Amino acid sequence: MSERLQTGDVAPAFSLPDADGHEVSLSDHAGRKVIVYFYPAALTPGCTKQACDFTDNLDLLAASGYDVIGISPDKPEKLAKFRDKESLSVTLLADPEKKVLETYGAYGEKKLYGKTVTGVIRSTIIVDEQGKVDRALYNVKATGHVAKIIKDLGL
C-alpha cells in the first residue's frame, strides 16, 4: 500500500497521456495551483458526476488560479469517449499502469460495499504554485466534493 501524501510534501512529478495521447506533466503547470483528482473509472455514474462538477466550476477555479487534472487507470481512448460524451473540459490523464495513482497514495486497499478490495481510492491533492501539497484529501465522495473544495478554499 502506498504512502499517503501530507500537507507540505513535494508533489511527485508525473507525465501521462491525455485523452488525445498528448503527454501532460505536472511541471507544465508550474507557477499555478493544481487540483489533481483521482477517480476509479470513466463513464461510471459517480465519476461522471464528479467530472461534470469540476467542468461546471472550471471557470471559477481557473479565475482563482487553479488548474484541474483528473487521473484514472483508463486508457486515453476511453477518456476521449468520456470527455466527448459528457462535454468535459477538465484535463483527463490516463494511468493504466497505476504508477502515479500509487505514488500519490490513491491506489490500494479500500472498502467497497463492506468488502476490502484493492483499487483506486477517490482522492484529491491540491498542489500550490511551488509544487508542494497544500491539501491531501482521501476517500472523498463523488457527489458534493467540488462544492466542498470551493468552500474550503474560500473561493
Residues known to be catalytic: 47
Mark residue 111 as left, alpha or beta (left: phi above 0; alpha: psi -120 to 50; beta: remaining). beta
SS3 state of residue 110? strand
Q: Distance of CA 45 to CAs 23, 61, 88, 98, Å? A: 27, 23, 14, 21
Task: Encode burial over 12-29: b for 16+ CB neighbours within 10 A, e otherwise.
Answer: bebebbbbeeeebebeeb
* CB-neighbour burial class of residue 91 (10 A; exposed 0-12, middle 13-18, buried 19+): buried
- Which backbone phi and psi does 120 adopt, to 5 degrees? -75, 130
Here the cell at position 28 is: 507544465
